A and B are shown apart, each in its own frame.
Chain A
């Protein structure tokens, strides 16, 4: 049993952090490619880094911390894992991708007709406006297949969080190339992986905004002392720390279980992350409270982190709907 990052994993984290801090943000994608952060989940047999979800979570946490706005999660996790589930591979590089993952309990929104054309529409598809390739789960007769579609423009949704690209995809007779057939439960497993990596992103965002608030509490003086000397302020910040560290512990386990746990355990671990998502957003709330007036301004970054946390908290359904699902499972075990 080892619950701390290895030297290699720490090195990966530091490398990603440096790549994101470098100048020329328009070159971020290329830098991520150069350090192996795009093909982290691609097996070595397909030319990838052949790492696991723990490493993907390490990358994702750094992206959240840096408020990265590109298509990494949609491409490097969703598309890679969806293609893998369909028995094929997608190797991220120059081409970006997105997967129209249905929400829990929903059937795929697309159908593939006998002539190989795709029909259907879906909203809130992560990364769709930035994708060169759309991977659409589609019903064909009694099976579900993954279909790759190119040249379809998704309509960007104006979400709360400008750094998370969501879009609606609508196709009616687009040419699709069948990537492979998706076994029962495969889409749920891919969504779980996306949730886990997205949760790691939220850890990064939460840690970053908490650090801003802690720093502020040390230097901002009122009534002749740093506001961080007031217990009322200290306790707010410790509450936020407790929330972040609890959640980070859950993410570590879920990321490990995604590759090494049994199927029901990996699914439950992912559900629990979403069940905690609303509480995680309180870290942003607390940070703004401690920052006070400056934290309520447009210029300050606090709201950008809060928006990112809120985006995660409503992705693929409300936190309370996941709490109900986790509670249902707790009742039957």
Chain B
């Protein structure tokens, strides 16, 4: 078969079924909470958790998971469609998105039967909130240099150290914690993963207020925290593989990138129309149109790049995925900048002002654009390391 952008009929039917379900179940209250996701908003968080439960009970949560764990074993294309549809409808990203996509696959692969049975259903329903303990004050882009250590003592590990930029860390019940268990080997080889109960004595999670003024993240301090040895996930000192190979089920993460920008561009067009009707902006200004057109163009190309990385396999897929991430971060920043430039004066605390600030994180979180470019230069272009 040659190049063909059409979806197979079965995937199209999946889309129709999901769209119908969303139309009948997604309320404005949930949409509003979705928009405010990441802001300080306990009431909003309760709405989001309740929505995750609704999704789980209807069989629409964690669709990438195998059926035996409560998922649908969805194909890459079904995941792509799912992401497009839920985001276009304004549905929230799951509270436990990191847990579902990054931690759960490791639990399925390495966890005990009891861990799987107790942890996974509560994760997907957002009965428990999960966080991932990776970044540290001195281990950001260079994650493998992490220093939080776990020392074996009888049947326990004793954990000491500090994590930071831990999403939902101050709200979490469980943490997939990456710790140094062997300081005497090269840094990638001495890391292990522990599943830690966040109510354990010695853990203190302090909200970390970001430049937007909201506390989406936490700093988490571990002071001689005793963690049972049975909490080890994966092999001792094999945590780096756990951290990097946990994306086995989730194939359509890249769809989130362009689907979110589609939604934001739609929001911007709608807000511009309102502002134009109030006489606040000139919607026919060719400078504005040119910038909108440039954003729309980059978005359309990014969508294809992401779809290729989802539909493809192997090296081609990871190459386009790292490019897509860079393109996405810059595009969302540019979109927010245009929104703020045109609308910020008329709505100083509004979504474009917040977005103008919050999108700075997109070229930092999950690996800075600069580190990403180093990796692309060496792995894709074959340029030498210094």
Contact = CB atoms under 8 A, between A and B. Distances in A.
Contacts of A237: 377, 381, 383
Given A2-B2, A214-B383, A246-B301, A323 B374 contact: no
B297 A326 contact: yes
Interface string A230-264: 11011101110110011101101101110010000
B186 interface: no
Given A238-B373, A323-B293, A260 B5 contact: yes
Nearest to B7: A1
Interface residues of B, number: 54
B46 interface: no
B1 A6 contact: yes
A158 interface: no
- Chain A interface size band reads 35 or more
Interface in A3-35: 3-6, 8-9
Contacts of A229: 383-386
B312 A4 contact: yes
A272 interface: yes
A217 interface: yes
Interface in B1-45: 1-8, 11
A173 interface: no
Contacts, number: 178
B380 A241 contact: yes
A6 B2 contact: yes
Q: Which DSSP category, helix, strand, loop or mixed, fits chain A's interface?
A: helix
A8 to B, nearest CB: 7
A330 interface: yes
Nearest to A9: B2
Contacts of A247: 301
Interface string B207-231: 0000000000000000000000000
Contacts of A330: 265, 269, 292-293, 295-296
Given A6-B1, A257-B5, A331 B269 contact: yes
Contacts of A322: 293
B300 interface: yes
Given A2-B1, A3-B5, A249 B304 contact: yes
Contact of A250 (B7, B8, B301, B373): B301
Given A3-B311, A328-B293, 14 more contacts: A1-B6, A52-B2, A54-B2, A218-B384, A225-B386, A234-B381, A238-B373, A246-B305, A253-B301, A325-B293, A326-B296, A327-B289, A330-B293, A331-B272
Per CB-CB distance, the 4 closest pairs between chain A and chain B, nearest first, are: A327-B293, A326-B293, A327-B289, A234-B377
